[in-house]
Amino acid sequence: MKAYQVLDFDGHLELTDVPVPVPTDGQILIKTEACGLNFADLLMRKGTYQDTPEPPFTLGLEVCGTVEQLGPNAQGLEIGDRVAVFGGRGGLAEYGVFPAELCCKVGPDMPAEAAAGFQVAYGTSHLALTHRAKLKAGETLVVLGAAGGVGLTAVEVGKLLGATVIAFARGASKVETAKQAGADFAYDSDDVDIREVVKSHGGADVVYDPIGGDQFKSVLRACNREARVIIIGFASGDVPQIAANHILVKNITVIGFYWGGYLKFAPDVLRASLEELMNWYDEGKLKPHVSHVFPLERSKEALDILEARKSTGKVVVKP
């Protein structure tokens, strides 16, 4: 089969021929329909992600596919089932093996492009805003990077939870994308003073930040008392240092959030979140946004589009 692999951390990526994997205890083999790309894939190809394996390995954290084979003791699935799974790697290939217990069944009406990029993006926003920040109806939610893979879902989920959403994105087209996702107010982060804009709307009760850097510093100074700031990632490449005295004076809570970690220490929490999200999708409440779809042989181009921030929503690869 064909697989897009990291051969080393010096930038050597290659579409290679490798054997079709065989599922072992508790695993299934799926035929890949689509693979959703994430910022973590960019870090993994450089060896800087927290769960990066040793090369060579196949990129692709999350996939949608059809069950082709059941390994010993693989329960809850049958051959022919459509599933989505966050496997951590292995998605950029024609076939992949994954633990059956991590798979989520996908209905026949959900397109592969939507299902492949659904779990990480929507799961991150839903679990961060509900389980960690406990966002309440009527509160003001500020979303940075609001047209990106996770940011756009934070806008959608925040609106469904009853918040007033202030979105910041880069460029007019991305601002418009955030508005279409339900943002009450949307601004180009390159053209405005984030602190002043948020203050003009009464301040932030919850901040969703996948960007870091100067944007984090600006919005932190516009937080209301007892605000919750959720750190999702550092797409800017700048890990900001926090002024602890400001946190103290306003009783602000800064929350670290890593969605994938719940697979190891609280999988039930994650599964309950995904079940609610799938119900929302079935009810027509969520509209996954995919801006780019590439074939497997153009995986490098897909990753480059993601790294250059030329995408909105998700970038998907289809073998």
For strand 223-231 and strand 204-209, is the pairing parallel, antiparallel, or unpaired? parallel
Which CATH code fits 124-259?
3.90.180.10
> DSSP class of residue 313?
B
pLDDT at 260: 86
* Single-letter residue type at 53: P
Q: What is the pLDDT of residues 230-288, one digit of tens each?
A: 999 998 989 999 989 989 999 999 999 999 889 889 988 988 898 899 999 999 999 99
Ranges of residues in the chain with a pLDDT under 50 are: none
Which CATH code fits 2-117+288-318?
3.90.180.10
pLDDT at 264: 84
pTM of this prediction? 0.89
Six-digit token pair at 207?
A: 């901040």
pLDDT at 179: 97
Q: Which residues, in sequence order, are bridge partners of residue 3?
A: 16, 93
What is the three-class DSSP state of 317? strand
Six-digit token pair at 135?
A: 């966002």
Q: What percent of the chain has pLDDT over 90?
A: 84
pLDDT at 190: 94
Report the distance separating Cα 93 and Cα 160, nearest Å: 35
pLDDT at 289: 93
pLDDT at 263: 83
Query: In which residue ranges of the chain is CATH 3.90.180.10 found?
Result: 2-117+288-318, 124-259
What beta strand segments (E) does the chain contain? 2-6, 13-17, 27-36, 57-58, 62-70, 82-86, 95-99, 103-105, 140-143, 164-169, 185-188, 204-209, 223-231, 253-256, 290-295, 314-318
Q: Determine whether 225 is exposed, middle or buried from the number of CB atoms within 10 Å of its CB (0-12, 13-18, 19+).
A: exposed
> Between the CA of residue 296 and those of 13, 84, 134, 177, what are the distances in Å?
13, 18, 39, 27
